[in-house]
Amino acid sequence: MEGSTLPLGAAKSYIGFIESYRDPFGSRGEFEVKMSRLKIFLVLLAVSCLSLMLHQGGHFNWNVMSFHLSCPFHRSPPPQSTKAKHTSIAFLKTHKTASSTVQNILFRFAERHNLTVALPLQGYDHQFRYPWSFSVRFVHPHTVPAQVITNHMRFNQQELRKLLPNDTLYLTILREPATMFESLFSYYNQNCASFKRVPNGSLEAFLAEPQRYYKPDAGNSMFAHNTLLFDLGGENDHSPADDSYITGFIKQMDEIFSLVMISEYFDESLVLLRRLLSWDLEDILYVKLNMRTPESKLKMSPDLPGKIRKWNSLDAKLYDYFNATFWKKLQALGLDCVEKEVDLLRQAQDRLIRGCFGGSLPQLRSSSQIKNKDLRPWQPSSKVAIVGYDLPYNSTRNAASDPCLKLIIPEVQYTRLLLRSQSLRYRKNYPLREPPSVGVSAGSVRHLPKRPI
């Protein structure tokens, strides 16, 4: 059974019945007989559908065929099932924007469809030598030719074009600068030199005199000023007085990226993503990842968001522009229809969680409390607590073979898991072939400077 459509045989029977009921001037007896037949037919149809639902065990191909009847914009395009899924994808994974959850969606999609994901050389762990500008030299040779790329990088389209197919679609996600900067300040407080030198780790103190604490040449300084712009390959310290720079940069990004998602409207973003890629609803189901504990989140006074946007004014202009275009895309689809699809997405996620974990997600715990190292998220410092999902101590479930556990596996472990499986596949397919010369040698990796957090 696909979506909400009737079984083909039942649909044909129903049409035949309606065809036989065209004469509105029949006798009253004939009318009552036909109405009785209609009632019997509908009861049998309902029983048949319920039986099929139970037989399928609740696992449906969650598409949106039902919307063809209620949403005008569905009438002209072909049904979703007739369109091939788009599989060439470059996702720019920005920092502290819910991008880890998007990455997990893409990783799982790639595995289900046997796609190759470009992954970093082992010396760079789960990032393409960030904050260096992306280069194909940073890609592990066992992960090419690639169809998907999603690990952290500093955007460089010219290099990505050397790696990916010509029909690649570029995607990214942005977050409102005030909440994003609070998250950056909390998360990288001990790793970013500009944050670490602030007395008592005070966000208020930093924003009162940002130029006093911000050092462009200090370690990981990109997290302290216009981080979104930096991740996209822009000059994060460019003068905000030069309006032509940010205007031109935004125009360039708008031409490159087919979709810029908005973190605050994550589910609505996934609706746009699904439609852009012609995916099924089941392809975008997710569980939230890489979250902080409530205690790790900083309380902001009412005046701080304005100060953050002023300090990160280039990020603010970037976000405001793409937030506006995001809503234009939703309005073009029809907000009522988007809302229905979001509801369907959330229902499907509830069913998935019940099927995978018996009714509710595994217990959330801070990283230090999770015994299973495969499920333990990376902890930036002792000053912030990142939560993950913990299984019972006696559980024998294995993330490598359990598709449900891949919903909750952190990005570092998932990257390593993918690298192992893709390396095995590469060696099996090309036992006598030398790896493509897109990366640098393992020996040279050992002498690289320590990767930024």
DSSP result, 284-348 = G-----SEEPGGGSPP--TTHHHHHHHHTHHHHHHHHHHHHHHHHHHHHH-HHHHHHHHHHHHHH
pLDDT for 166: 97
**Pairwise CA distance, residues 186 & 293, whole Å:** 11
Per-residue pLDDT tens digits for 162-188: 999 999 999 999 999 999 999 999 999
By CB atoms closer than 10 A (0-12, 13-18, 19+), residue 245 is: middle
pLDDT for 370: 80
Give the other-Cβ count within 10 Å of 118's Cβ.
25
pLDDT for 114: 96
Largest interatomic CA distance in the chain: 93
Give the other-Cβ count within 10 Å of 351's Cβ.
16
- Packed helices 313-333 and 335-357: angle between N→C axes, nearest 10 degrees: 100
pLDDT for 436: 59
Does an H or E element contain 196, and which? helix 193-196
**Low-confidence residues in the chain, pLDDT < 70:** 1-82, 294, 296, 382, 392-394, 433-453
Identity of the residue numbered 139:
V
User: Helices (DSSP H) in 79-132: which residue ranges?
Assistant: 99-112
pLDDT for 118: 98
Q: What is the DSSP letter of 134?
A: P
Burial letters 318-350, b for 16+ CB under 10 A, else e: bbebbbeebeebbeebbeebbebbbebbeebbe
243: Cβ–Cβ under 8 A, 6 or more apart, which residues? none
User: Helices (DSSP H) in 378-441: which residue ranges?
Assistant: 411-429
Q: Are 52 and 17 in contact (CB under 8 A)?
A: no
pLDDT for 434: 64
Reported pTM: 0.79
Q: Is 37 helix (H, G, I), strand (E, B) or coil?
A: helix
By CB atoms closer than 10 A (0-12, 13-18, 19+), residue 306 is: exposed
Per-residue pLDDT tens digits for 229-245: 999 999 999 999 999 99
Give, in degrees to the nearest 5, the angle at Cα 365 between 351 and 453: 105
pLDDT for 159: 98
Q: Are 136 and 57 in contact (CB under 8 A)?
A: no
pLDDT for 407: 92
pLDDT for 299: 82
Q: Are 159 and 134 in contact (CB under 8 A)?
A: yes
Give, in degrees to the nearest 5, the angle at Cα 100 between 97 and 101: 95
Q: Which of 196, 192, 198, 251 is nearest to 225 (CA)?
A: 192
User: Helices (DSSP H) in 334-441: which residue ranges?
Assistant: 335-357, 411-429
**Pairwise CA distance, residues 321 & 302, whole Å:** 24
363-366/148-149 β-pairing: unpaired
**Pairwise CA distance, residues 259 & 149, whole Å:** 15
User: Helices (DSSP H) in 20-95: which residue ranges?
Assistant: 28-56
Give the tokens for residue 201: 């780790």
pLDDT for 385: 76
